[in-house]
């Protein structure tokens, strides 16, 4: 199903893009082009749709509109046509990055140190990222007193870029403090487009000369490139992207936005008529695995628990994807039955695999976990297989199967159907089945013994055993009990409006009913009794 990207004159595209960039004097926000009219009317403070108006970024101040490349019209009599707005595609638009740095106010971190640290940081980032970022790096008073604890406690509002910098795409907060005999760096980021943040990560080091290098590594590890989905295949299993800044190749290849094997998390951006962001909807339990990258474009496979999770771009709806980068060693998955969030599912079996099981490959090397009393299970990050498949199993039934990349979040919740009624029925059916087997076996043995005794004309013993045989439960008794189990369980499932559970319960009971009908027929018993009556000598 993988598709190949269309072959294009890449070099030409790059040159054209570059020209456009030059014309745009440093490159404005790609979204700004799309909403140029609105932006000019109101320099919005909306962080989700930043404009370049009033932008004071030191790196660039992109123009809202592109001016004609050459002079003015020579024909003064004819009305001049309005200047044509050139909208650059997102693959040539760099990221506007704001890095706020908080350095602990200690004598060791003096003015000179600060300046040098910022300078080093800027130089190192530019040397690695190049045109991909247009960065504003500053020391922020909001991050004082600088500490990892402060970062951790920042709210989403505090993580967002300030309102006076609406053009910012991603903001980073970095703190530096002393940690005993060492130095602690802590970092986190906020992505404006997806309205998501990365968790705070800190590192302690003891060599001050490594501070700038480590800080850069941390900043880049929090960088999550985004891409816009151009097309979704008809079967919904592959998508084609346009990568933000994909054409702006960074000097360091490792910083390239996407590589084959990377994963993205899709989300919809709902805009209003004025192209203002109204809502962001993240597509849950869905990942996009990059299969091919060609500068600003790439192809990805859709991996989802849903059949067709992506509907493609529509009017006033943007389908985006943001890179998924595990930041934690593990993720806590909380499983709870539907409508019972306060009663998480304890003791539920969770199988974790690195691929979907098929008929040929049952994936025997699966990790089997049980949820604890709080319905939690810890999913560790496997660097070799970022994407894992989770199977929530109850009894003989798989309640849910979802793809998941552990480490992206500290805690994730998963709602599953309430299986209590079906599970209870399953237990009762199993017990009834065991009793059925016992009854059938005992009946068979008793019949054999009675036959043996009748052959030896021991009719007194035959009578005793016939009485015992008659005391064994009959088919009717099993039928009644099975029906009771079925009706009770189905009633509960219907009360929960769980059609799947109803179907499963009926299937479960139907299977046992077949066994009862097959192995415990009354005809056999009656025939045997008749046979005994026949061969019994008459008095």
Partner 1 sequence: MCRVLAWLRGPFASSSTGCCTAFVRVVSVGVVPSFPHFLFCRDPNVFDNSYKSSVQTIGLLFWFVASLYFCAIPEHGRTALWADDPPPTDGTTTGEPTPEETAPAIKTLAEMEVPPAELFLTGDVSLYRDWVILKSMQVLEVFPMSPRPRTLETRTQEYEAKIEAGRKLTGEKLQTWRAEMAVIKQFEFLDTTDPSKKFFIDLEEVEKFVHHEDLWLQRVELLLKEKNLDLAFELVTKFERTQPDWPGLKETKDKLLFADGSARLEAGELEPALMVFEEVFRSRKDFPNLGATAGRAADGIITEALAADDFRKARFFLDRLGVITTTDPVFQKHSATLSKRAIAVLDEARQLSVAGKHAEAADLADRAARIWPETPNLKGQYTPLVERYQRVRVGVDRFPGEPTAYPFATDADERHQRLTEISLFEIRDFRDGYPRMRSRFLDEWIPEDLGRTMRFTLRRTRQPWETQPVIQSWPIVKRIAERLRPEHPDYDERLASYIAGISIDSPFEFTVRFRRVPSRLETLALMTVVKAPENEVVPVPSAADSAEAPASSTVASTTVASATDEGAAVAAGTEVDGSFGESYPAGGFRRIESSDTVQVYQRVIAEPEQLRDYHVAEIQERKYLNAEAALHGLRAGEVCMLPGLPAWIIRRIESDKLMKEQYFIQKHAVPATHMVLFNPTKKVLKSRELRRALVYGLDRQGILDNILLREPAGSQGRVASGPFPHNSYAHGTGIEPRPFDPYASLALGLAARNSLGANKVIDGDLPRLRMIAPPDPVLRAAAQAMCKQWFRVGIDVELVPDDELTAFQDGKWDLLYRETHVVDPITELWPLMTMQSTARIDDLMTIPDWLKQELVDLDRTADPSRAVERVRKLHRFLWEEVAIIPLWELEEYTVYRKNIQGMSAHPVHSYDNLDNWVRSASLQATGL
The 3-state secondary structure of 445-503 reads HHHHHHHHHHHCCCHHHHHHHHHHHHHCCCHHHHHHHHHHHHHHHHHHHHHCCCHHHHH
The residue range among 94-102, 134-142, 408-416, 430-438 that interacts with partner 1, by the rule CB under 8 A, is: 430-438
The pattern of x and - marking residues 185 through 224 that bind partner 1 according to CB under 8 A reads ----------------------------------------
Count other Cβ atoms within 10 Å, centred on residue 215: 26
Determine the angle formed by the axes of helices 420-455 and 499-519, rounding to 10 degrees: 0
Q: Contacting partner 1 (CB under 8 A), which of 35, 129, 405, 423?
A: 423
Q: Contacting partner 1 (CB under 8 A), which of 362, 441, 500, 530?
A: 441
Complex with partner 1: residue 163 or 445, whichever CB lies closer: 445
For residue 436, the minimal CB distance to partner 1 (Å) is: 11
Contact 349, 392 (CB under 8 A): yes
Residue 375 burial (10 A CB sphere; 0-12, 13-18, 19+) = buried
The residue range among 140-148, 177-185, 231-239, 436-444 that interacts with partner 1, by the rule CB under 8 A, is: 436-444
The residue range among 62-70, 172-180, 215-223, 419-427 that interacts with partner 1, by the rule CB under 8 A, is: 419-427
For residue 502, the minimal CB distance to partner 1 (Å) is: 18
Q: Tokens at residue 183, please?
A: 């130095």
Say whether residue 496 binds partner 1 (CB under 8 A): no
Determine the angle formed by the axes of helices 522-535 and 459-471, rounding to 10 degrees: 170
The residue range among 234-242, 330-338, 421-429, 524-532 that interacts with partner 1, by the rule CB under 8 A, is: 421-429
Contact 317, 269 (CB under 8 A): yes
Q: Contacting partner 1 (CB under 8 A), which of 86, 367, 412, 420?
A: 420
Ordered DSSP codes for 69-136: SS---S-SSSPPPPPPPP---GGGPPEEEEEEEEE---TTS-HHHHHHHHHHHHHHHHHHHGGGEEEE
Number of residues in contact with partner 1 under rule CB under 8 A: 31
**Residue 524: cis peptide before it, omega within 30 degrees of 0:** no
Complex with partner 1: residue 64 or 447, whichever CB lies closer: 447
The pattern of x and - marking residues 346 through 385 that bind partner 1 according to CB under 8 A reads xx-x------------------x-xxxxx-----------
Q: Contacting partner 1 (CB under 8 A), which of 123, 311, 410, 444?
A: 444
Beta strands (DSSP E) in 305-438 are: 317-323, 330-337, 349-353, 367-370, 376-380, 388-394, 397-404, 411-416
For residue 371, the minimal CB distance to partner 1 (Å) is: 7
Query: In which residue are the tokens 């098929």 written?
Result: 358
Say whether residue 175 binds partner 1 (CB under 8 A): no
Q: Contacting partner 1 (CB under 8 A), which of 426, 453, 490, 502?
A: 426
* Phi/psi of residue 189, nearest 5 degrees: -145, 165
Q: What percent of the chain is helix, strand and coil (3-state, nearest 5)?
A: 35, 25, 40
Complex with partner 1: residue 242 or 481, whichever CB lies closer: 481
CA dihedral 408, 410, 414, 419 (to 10 degrees): 130
Q: Contacting partner 1 (CB under 8 A), which of 123, 437, 530, 535?
A: 437
Contact 311, 295 (CB under 8 A): no
For residue 533, the minimal CB distance to partner 1 (Å) is: 23
> CA 89, CA 528: separation in Å to the nearest integer?
86
Say whether residue 398 binds partner 1 (CB under 8 A): no
> CA 395, CA 501: separation in Å to the nearest integer?
13
For residue 498, the minimal CB distance to partner 1 (Å) is: 16
Q: Contacting partner 1 (CB under 8 A), which of 445, 484, 511, 530?
A: 445
Complex with partner 1: residue 145 or 427, whichever CB lies closer: 427
The pattern of x and - marking residues 298 through 337 that bind partner 1 according to CB under 8 A reads ----------------------------------------
For residue 335, the minimal CB distance to partner 1 (Å) is: 12
Q: Which 7-26 residues touch partner 1, going by CB under 8 A?
A: none
Q: Give me the residues that bind partner 1 (CB under 8 A), please.
A: 346-347, 349, 368, 370-374, 393-395, 420, 423-424, 426-428, 430-431, 434-435, 437-438, 440-442, 444-446, 449
């Amino acid at each position: 199903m993988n598709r190949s990207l269309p072959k294009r004159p890449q070099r030409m595209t790059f040159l054209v893009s570059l020209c456009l960039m030059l014309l745009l004097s440093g490159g404005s926000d790609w979204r700004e082009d799309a909403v140029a009219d609105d932006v000019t009317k109101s320099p919005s403070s909306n962080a989700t749709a930043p404009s370049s108006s009033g932008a004071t970024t030191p790196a660039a101040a992109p123009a809202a509109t592109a001016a004609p490349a050459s002079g003015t019209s020579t024909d003064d009599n004819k009305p001049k046509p309005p200047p044509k707005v050139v909208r650059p595609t997102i693959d040539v638009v760099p990221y506007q990055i704001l890095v706020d740095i908080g350095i602990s106010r200690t004598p060791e971190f003096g003015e000179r140190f600060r300046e040098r640290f910022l300078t080093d940081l800027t130089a190192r980032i530019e040397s690695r990222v190049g045109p991909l970022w247009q960065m504003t790096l500053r020391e922020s008073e909001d991050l004082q007193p600088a500490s990892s604890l402060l970062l951790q406690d920042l709210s989403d509002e505090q993580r967002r870029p300030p309102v006076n910098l609406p053009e910012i795409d991603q903001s980073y907060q970095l703190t530096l403090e002393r940690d005993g005999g060492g130095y602690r760096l802590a970092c986190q980021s906020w992505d404006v487009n997806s309205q998501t943040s990365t968790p705070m990560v800190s590192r302690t080091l003891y060599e001050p000369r490594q501070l700038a290098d480590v800080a850069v590594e941390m900043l880049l590890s929090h960088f999550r490139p985004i891409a816009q989905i151009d097309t979704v295949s008809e079967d919904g299993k592959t998508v084609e992207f346009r990568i933000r800044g994909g054409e702006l190749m960074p000097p360091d290849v490792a910083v390239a936005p996407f590589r084959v094997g990377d994963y993205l998390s899709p989300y919809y951006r709902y805009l209003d008529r004025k192209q203002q962001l109204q809502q962001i909807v993240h597509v849950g339990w869905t990942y996009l695995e990059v299969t091919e990258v060609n500068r600003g474009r790439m192809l990805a496979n859709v991996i989802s628990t849903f059949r067709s999770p992506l509907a493609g771009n529509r009017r006033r709806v943007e389908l985006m994807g943001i890179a998924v980068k595990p930041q934690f060693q593990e993720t806590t998955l909380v499983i709870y039955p539907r409508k019972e969030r306060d009663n998480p599912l304890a003791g539920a079996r969770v199988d974790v695999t690195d691929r979907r099981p098929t008929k040929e490959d049952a994936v025997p090397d699966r990790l089997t976990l049980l949820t604890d009393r709080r319905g939690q299970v810890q999913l560790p990050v496997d660097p070799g297989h970022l994407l894992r498949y989770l199977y929530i199993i109850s009894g003989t039934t798989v309640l849910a199967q979802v793809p998941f990349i552990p480490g992206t979040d500290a805690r994730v919740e998963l709602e599953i159907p309430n299986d209590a009624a079906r599970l209870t029925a399953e237990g009762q059916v199993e017990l009834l089945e065991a009793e059925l087997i016992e009854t059938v076996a005992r009946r068979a043995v008793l019949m054999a013994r009675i036959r043996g005794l009748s052959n030896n004309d021991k009719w007194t013993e035959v009578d005793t055993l016939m009485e015992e045989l008659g005391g064994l439960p009959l088919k009717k008794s099993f039928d009644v009990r099975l029906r009771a189990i079925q009706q009770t369980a189905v009633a509960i499932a219907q009360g929960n409006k769980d059609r799947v559970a109803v179907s499963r319960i009926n299937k479960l009971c139907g299977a046992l009913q077949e066994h009862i009908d097959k192995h415990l027929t009354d005809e056999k018993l009656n025939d045997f009794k008749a046979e005994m009556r026949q061969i019994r000598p008459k008095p």
